Chain A
């Protein structure tokens, strides 16, 4: 079955430290991978995506993610966390067999402590 897992419900990191939010997937065919962020009382916003090409993808607000095919992972990273990065982060995957919808992870709550 096609699935996306975000193994950590919550991640805590100190301001200025690097952060990682993990995502692994299980799909057939070539995946299209996305990260979205949801700030409190807001809708989701697109951060970045991997379609093809360079495994390291750079996105909005200084975030980046690395596609690792052998580990079926697409972890979100940022070298230096800000308090304003505190939000809910969602990983999603669309696979070649279905054009129409995304499979969503359950989300990871990131708390950046000052």
Chain B
């Protein structure tokens, strides 16, 4: 089954304790992205990756890190979590045919979400 998986689904942690949220897709997608969803703010992009070893900042990258060492995996790292990072996080992936002005019409597939609480 084609899917995007995230782990853990729920996490409660304390301020400053490093954590990683994993994301994996089995569709051989080039493009992957992390979003956070907050009430009244909709979806905001944190980081994205166009392919292996190619990552870039989204709209709200502060306090987060990512890596893309393999095509299927795109972990989100919070080195020192703070309460304002309490949120619902989604990983997404899509095909990308490359080029700045091409292949931008492919739909994204989303993971089930990770609900993070930082105390």
Contact B107 A46 (CB under 8 A): yes
Count contacts between A and B, CB distance < 8 Å.
Answer: 57
| A42-B113, A101-B45 known; A96-B101 Cβ under 8 A | yes
Please name the 9 residue pairs, one residue from A and one from B, whose CB atoms are nearest each other, closest first: A43-B110, A46-B107, A106-B42, A99-B104, A44-B110, A51-B105, A104-B43, A32-B105, A43-B112
| A90-B42, A99-B100, A104-B42 known; A45-B105 Cβ under 8 A | no
**Residue count of chain A within 8 Å CB distance of chain B:** 23
Interface residues of chain A: helix, strand, loop or mixed (majority): loop
Q: Which residues does A use to contact B, with CB under 8 Å? A: 32, 34, 36, 41-46, 49, 51, 90, 94, 96, 98-102, 104-107
Contact B99 A99 (CB under 8 A): yes
A105 to B48, CA, bound (A): 19
CB distance from B99 to the nearest CB of A (A): 7
A46-B108, A99-B102 known; 16 new pairs, CB 8 Å cut-off, are A36-B108, A36-B110, A42-B112, A43-B4, A43-B112, A44-B92, A44-B108, A49-B105, A49-B107, A90-B42, A94-B105, A99-B100, A100-B48, A102-B108, A106-B40, A106-B41
